[in-house]
């Protein structure tokens, strides 16, 4: 490693659910040049086995001067596509080690490969998602999940909730805090001096003047009016079915959806291969792929690594 390489930012990558595509996505990174030193957390034997399956060189990562594998042992051996509850603790340990390194200053940012929430919960470890887990571990009272790609930055007012619980979760204080975090990080981390944010309504046609729901009238619109008084450029509440049209998106810097699928269905249609998940509000920089574990693709060599590469590029941009 040259002195110049040693000065590059260190980015830690968690390889995610061992039965999914995360390990092999990490193996594809050596074919791409990043202005960073990448530290991949995962079981070294697992990576070697997966490399053989997909026809990669087992030692290709560590042979590259800007890559390092930091060994974290599996609890039990892992087969592609076959989830094992015993490895849930391993997946959590990857996150904990990456977070500890970011908080100590060893790493400039963390990038996460996908995990399987269901198997973690089946193992008796309460886990709603990366976003919520990292918020709890850092003692951050509120974070915002945002996915970016294809010119969109779609943030969420609520994240992983059953649909029947969403309306009750759209509360004035929570929505106010979410918009403040979104606005602040667009300014501080993305360098947008005066971000223009489009805000979706909750109901069809943004409530149709109260005939299809009153959340827009009683909660969303008053919050937007209050924050406009603080100098934020907020547009809405807008009907979600037309918010993502070219006319509305012109000159918009971000979009706030009220619930998960309202915003992310559009984002993933537009940028599934190279979308990036970004957690706003954390004391560290964290980005992730915008897709799941793809158990059916694990071990086939057909998994697309563009989202992981985009997540690394986004992490580098944010930690600058």
Q: What residues are designated binding site for substrate? A: 130-131, 268, 277, 286
* Cβ-proximal residues to 27 (8 Å cutoff; 6+ apart), any chain: 47, 50, 51, 54, 56, 60, 61
**CB-CB contact of 30 with 61 (8 Å):** yes
Strand-pair partners of 68: 39
* Cβ-proximal residues to 246 (8 Å cutoff; 6+ apart), any chain: none
Cα-Cα-Cα-Cα torsion 130, 131, 135, 138, nearest 10 degrees, comes to: 50
CB atoms within 10 A of CB 176: 16
Extract the annotated binding site. 130-131, 160, 205, 260, 268, 277, 286
Element (H, E) at 317: helix 306-319
Element (H, E) at 286: strand 286-289
Q: Which of 122, 240, 219, 128 lies closest to 170, judged by CA?
A: 219
Extract the annotated binding site for a divalent metal cation. 160, 205, 260
Paired sense of beta strands 286-289 and 109-112, if any: parallel
């Amino acid at each position: 490693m040259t002195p110049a390489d040693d000065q590059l930012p260190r980015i830690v990558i968690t390889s995610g659910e061992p039965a999914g595509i995360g390990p092999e996505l990490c193996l594809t990174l050596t074919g791409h040049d990043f202005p960073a030193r990448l530290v991949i957390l995962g079981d070294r034997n697992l990576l070697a086995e997966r490399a053989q399956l997909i026809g990669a060189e087992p030692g290709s990562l560590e042979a590259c001067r800007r890559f390092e594998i930091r060994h974290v042992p599996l609890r039990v051996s892992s087969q592609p596509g076959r989830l094992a509850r015993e490895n849930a603790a391993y997946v959590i340990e990857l996150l904990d080690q990456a977070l500890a390194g970011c908080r100590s200053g060893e790493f400039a940012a963390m990038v996460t490969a996908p995990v399987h929430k269901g198997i973690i919960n089946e193992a008796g470890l309460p886990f709603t998602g990366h976003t919520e887990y990292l918020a709890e571990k850092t003692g951050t009272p509120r974070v915002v999940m945002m996915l970016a790609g294809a010119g969109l930055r779609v943030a969420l007012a609520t994240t992983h909730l059953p649909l029947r619980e969403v309306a009750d979760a759209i509360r004035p204080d929570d929505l106010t805090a979410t918009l403040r975090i979104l606005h602040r990080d667009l300014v501080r981390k993305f360098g947008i001096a005066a971000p223009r944010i489009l805000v979706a309504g909750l109901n069809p046609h943004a409530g149709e003047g109260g005939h299809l729901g009153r959340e827009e009238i009683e909660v969303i619109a008053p919050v937007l009016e209050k924050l406009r008084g603080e100098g934020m450029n907020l547009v809405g509440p807008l009907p979600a079915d037309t918010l993502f049209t070219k006319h509305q998106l012109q000159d918009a810097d971000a979009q706030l959806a009220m619930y998960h699928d309202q915003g992310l269905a559009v984002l993933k249609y537009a940028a599934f291969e190279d979308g990036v998940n970004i957690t706003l509000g954390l004391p560290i920089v964290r980005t992730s792929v915008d897709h799941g574990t793809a158990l059916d693709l694990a071990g086939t060599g057909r998994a697309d690594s563009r989202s992981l590469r985009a997540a690394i590029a986004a992490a580098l941009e944010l930690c600058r």
